[in-house]
Amino acid sequence: MNTKASISTPLKDEGRYCINILRASQADVSNSFSGGLPPEDRFGVGGWADMDGVPYLPNAQASLFCEIDQAISYATHDIIIGRVSQASFAPDISPLVYQNGSYALTAPLALQKAG
């Protein structure tokens, strides 16, 4: 993560975060965080919720709640190593994929129980 990114200091101060794997239908959320909106408006897109002070998307493809295990500074960036403390996954699989400068379509799948 670039040390000049707006999330850099708050993330390191908090020590906890959530990685949201977006659904194919959530390109608007991706766009709002990739420079499409000012930092103060980004959480207005997507139906965010809060778990113990950590924002997350309840309708994401998957949510990985993490605690910072280590932060390593290297030149203009920090490498954040997190330990997953909790995870949730949607039963249907339709992730948002960004490839070669644009969003790619994926075919929805359903998770099947082994048995």
Domain ranges of the chain: 8-89
Structure confidence at residue 115 as a pLDDT band (50, 70, 90): low
| Average pLDDT score over residue span 78-106 | 92
Segments of 1-115 assigned E as strands: 16-21, 49-51, 54-56, 62-74, 77-89, 92-93, 97-99, 102-104, 109-110
Write the CA distances from 75 to 4, 8, 9, 71, 82, integer angstroms: 12, 14, 16, 13, 20
Side-chain-side CA neighbours of residue 93 (13 Å): 6
DSSP-derived 3-state class of residue 23: strand
More confident residue, 110 or 87: 87
Q: What is the rounded average pLDDT for all residues in the chain?
A: 90
Q: What is the mean pLDDT of residues 27-52?
A: 90
Query: Higher confidence at residue 70 or residue 36?
Result: 70
pTM of the entire predicted model? 0.82
Instruction: In whole angstroms, give the CA distance from residue 60 to residue 11.
Output: 20
Give me the phi and psi of 33, to 5 degrees please.
Answer: -95, -5
pLDDT recorded at residue 70: 95
The structural architecture, per CATH, of the domain 8-89 is: Roll (2.30)
